[in-house]
Structure 1
Amino acid sequence: MKYFYTFLCIGFFVLTGSAQVPSNYYDSANGLSGYALKSQLKRIINDNTDGLSPEFIHNDQGDNLDGLYGTSDLDLYYENDGTILDIYSENPSGPDPYNYFFPADECAGNFNSEGDCYNKEHIIPKSTYNEASPMVDDGHTVIPTDGRVNGLRSNLPFGVVDDNQLISQNGISNPTLNGSKAGGNLNSGYSAGYTGTVFEPLDEFKGDVARMYFYFVTRYEDQVSNWSSFPMFDGSSDKVLEDPFLTILLTWHTSDPVSQKEIDRNNVVFNYQNNRNPFVDNPNYVALIWSGAIDDEDPDPVNDLIASNPTDNSIELDWTEPSDNVGVTSYDIYIDGALSVNTTFTQFTVTGLVADTNYCFTIKAKDAAGNESDFSDQACETTTNNGSGTTECAAEDFQNMPANDSQYTARSWVGTNGAWNATRARTDQTISGSRAIAIDYRGSSAGSLVSPTIAGGIGSLTVTTQRVFAGTNGSLDVLVNGTTVGTIAYSDTSQNVTLENINLEGSIQVTILDNDSGSARVALDNLSWTCYSNLSLDDAALSSISIYPNPVKGDVLYVAANKDLEFEIYSILGQKVSRGIVVNGKLNVSNLKKGIYIIKLIVDNQSKSYRLIRQ
């Protein structure tokens, strides 16, 4: 992979210095590479006397991992509250959905639901090796996790779940409460090549899982060829991992580097069973051993980019996925030569544009290894100039939602205009045969639907509603940027509802909430709103204003005006990135990265917007 060796070599010096590796522990592996290095690491960490100096023997502790978990797996990194750090329930960015204390909350007898208790998760399923020792109680690959999520994972291999192929099990939501999930493997991009059911942990812990696998196939190199019935293993004793899973684990290892949690756990397990995980101590060993599987090939360039369907504020881009030896995972979109946005789709609507302006687009394809293609051919289009409230700024048909699921839970997906979020929502309902998000608006903790933030303002909003199942008819509140602007009705029959004359400028986020006028589960579909720009303003006060240079290469943008005025600067996706007062005709733009922006100049409650290019 490009940049792979540099990154991992840096990791070697940093991580080895902070981990408690015994002196000379890895000396006998120095200078080796490929499977010879893997075999030598096996000698260092196994339970045989191999004539090494010093010699550390892996001591099998028997089925006594409880003596380890009280030290090795406490949360000292996120909440820092001394509860069990369970990779299947930890929420790295907020409160955990539930917590366990060691040893009181270990499963004993029957359990039914997520959050009941924790038990032992064998990252490599114990059925693979017939529950034999020392594999079954190896502290490097057996960790405490929620019992019910452990049951959802069962003996599944690890992979990248296609959200349209989620599996269902009684007693648990999928995705789980922290976002781990099980379903059909996404047979494209870096996870291409396998079509069976897999389990996917959070991004935060994918590298942890990968390094557990690299440890396991090294430590048990002399036995693993007997375990080829497990889909991740290829029946060999050297490479061991089937190509699709090797690519997945290599990608996870690279994208989620070794954490302090892993370093500390490695030290604790070493004190417990007298061997270490070499791939936590020295992450560069992964590249040195499996370098033949590393992707260093650039994708082909996109050759059919089309820009079309312009509105006053947006232009649609379409293209087909180009060839790559592993698979393309995302695309960088450049507007007039400046990198503006990255997307995983082969269709993207660029919003927040200025009316009656020509834009030219190019694209670079990227794979999971960081390789990127040459630029595509340029595609250009000019935005229209149709005036206030006549163009569509946002449109969501809910076709990209996660797979049909009857559970009410949090849902996230990327639509045409960006990332949507819903709470207490299910995805298996339709309105007139079209997929619709269904939200439980009953009770005091009713659900919600939240749009991405989109530039261009809002004129009027339209949505299709229908009450599903039992309940009473009513209406829902529509909020724009947190302020209620009106209501939309729902009943047991499908109806298209339009909320007129909202008429707000700038970047817009729409939220739909319950107002207690009824009590129902409501399906929503075909949500859209028109753009808005206040063309009724008297432009006389703004007619003499201009900005220069544009593009701006230095740190100062000059504004020609006869008085001081306010400014607001938005990214091409509509996020406000700067605001303030233009004093003496100068505006400092040193805080802006290279790219395309919209700058709004405001004087006497009137405004004028320009496209600004920062080079």
Structure 2
Amino acid sequence: MKKIYFLLFTLCFTNLLLAQGSESFTNHDLSGTSYATGSFVGDNNITWNYVACRDENGDSNNAGIDGKALMLRRSSDNSSVSAQSGANGVKSVTMKLYKGFTGAGGRQVELFVNNVSQGSSISFDDNGEHIFTVDNINIVGDVVIEVRNTTSKQVIVDDITWTAYTLSTDTFKQSEFSVFPNPTSNGFVNIKTANNQPVTVVAYDVLGKQVLNTKLTTSRLNVSNLKAGVYILKLTQNGATTTKKLVIE
């Protein structure tokens, strides 16, 4: 089940590049009869992937949900919803959370970017609307955005919004990376940087699983052990981090 798809951001250069995207879950095709794993094309043609989810149960708790939303089942089912940005990272993410069903117990979710936790919401057990915001994420490049249920109780997620992020033009040139050949079928890629200093490379597959973690002192990265497919490379040099999509044929 792929967790990686592309979110298209509209960007404009300022000292920081900022833009905003959103997802209302209006287009999901889930019903209230059972939990399912799959995907749907949401707002602005963004494809979202869900694991062990269902609909919002008609807002049976009268929490004030506006239209449709997505209910995550429980952490033991790895219940989550995810998508990926297609341009220049993420600065902040905000979403609305609601209690699913009436059983007692705390509801809480955790936000991940590139499979790294960015923080958890405050636990709640009431029928109100709760706003969960994470600021200052500040990761550039293609990023995997994922929301996971961390409890054994159902929690409803709605109206996810995010701002894109990249460094200013001058700062970005100092940490500029290029990856070639891309796509590759040779068992290796070259990673070129502006200053040719060591680069830490972490690769994630389409499930968000880390499949490679190494520090390069030369430009050549050995990818012969990776199967054909799409990967995200997280590249870090001198404290600057960006991500690149890599296709292996």
Q: Let me know the Cα RMSD of the aligned residues.
A: 4.5
Percent of residue pairs bearing the same amino acid type: 15
Task: Specify the alignment match of 1:413 in structure 2.
Answer: 37
The one-letter amino acid paired with 2:108 is D
Paired residues of 1:352 and 1:573 also in contact (CA < 8 A): no
Task: Specify the alignment match of 2:190 in structure 1.
Answer: 558
Q: Which one has the bigger helix percentage? A: 1
Task: Specify the alignment match of 1:598 in structure 2.
Answer: 232
Name structure 2 gaps, 5 residues minimum.
41-47
Tell me: CA distance 1:577–1:388, structure 2 relative to 1, closer, same or farther (3 Å): farther
Q: Does 1:385 align with 2:11?
A: yes
- In the TM superposition, 1:270-289 aligns within 5 A as none
Tell me: CA distance 1:539–1:608, structure 2 relative to 1, closer, same or farther (3 Å): same
1-side partners of 2:107 and 2:216: how far apart?
Answer: 41
2-side partners of 1:447 and 1:395: how far apart?
Answer: 26
Task: Specify the alignment match of 2:214 in structure 1.
Answer: 580
Tell me: CA distance 1:604–1:499, structure 2 relative to 1, closer, same or farther (3 Å): same
Q: Deviations over 1:279-315 (max 9, x none)?
A: xxxxxxxxxxxxxxxxxxxxxxxxxxxxxxxxxxxxx
Task: Specify the alignment match of 1:546 in structure 2.
Answer: 178
1:538 CA displacement: 2.9
Tell me: CA distance 1:483–1:523, structure 2 relative to 1, closer, same or farther (3 Å): closer
Task: Specify the alignment match of 1:510 in structure 2.
Answer: 147
1:589 CA displacement: 1.8
- In the TM superposition, 1:46-57 aligns within 5 A as none
Task: Specify the alignment match of 1:463 in structure 2.
Answer: 96
- In the TM superposition, 1:168-183 aligns within 5 A as none
Tell me: CA distance 1:352–1:492, structure 2 relative to 1, closer, same or farther (3 Å): closer
Instruction: Tell me the TM-score normalised to structure 1 length.
Output: 0.29
SS in structure 1 of the partner of residue 122 of structure 2:
strand
* Equivalent in 451, 455, 460 of residue 80 of structure 2: 451
The count of residues paired between Structure 1 and Structure 2 equals 220
The one-letter amino acid paired with 2:178 is S
Task: Specify the alignment match of 1:345 in structure 2.
Answer: none
1:490 CA displacement: 6.4
SS in structure 1 of the partner of residue 52 of structure 2:
strand
Paired residues of 2:70 and 2:156 also in contact (CA < 8 A): yes
- In the TM superposition, 1:32-71 aligns within 5 A as none
Name structure 1 gaps, 5 residues minimum.
1-340, 343-348, 356-382, 406-410, 516-520
Q: Deviations over 1:116-157 (max 9, x none)?
A: xxxxxxxxxxxxxxxxxxxxxxxxxxxxxxxxxxxxxxxxxx
- In the TM superposition, 1:9-28 aligns within 5 A as none
1:590 CA displacement: 1.5
Instruction: Tell me the TM-score normalised to structure 2 length.
Output: 0.62
Q: Does 1:351 align with 2:5?
A: yes
Task: Specify the alignment match of 2:121 in structure 1.
Answer: 486
2-side partners of 1:575 and 1:448: how far apart?
Answer: 17
Paired residues of 1:429 and 1:437 also in contact (CA < 8 A): no
Paired residues of 2:108 and 2:124 also in contact (CA < 8 A): no
Tell me: CA distance 1:560–1:488, structure 2 relative to 1, closer, same or farther (3 Å): same
Paired residues of 1:454 and 1:573 also in contact (CA < 8 A): no
* Equivalent in 133, 142, 152 of residue 499 of structure 1: 133
Paired residues of 1:396 and 1:415 also in contact (CA < 8 A): no
Q: Which one has the bigger strand percentage? A: 2
1:528 CA displacement: 2.1
Tell me: CA distance 1:559–1:613, structure 2 relative to 1, closer, same or farther (3 Å): same
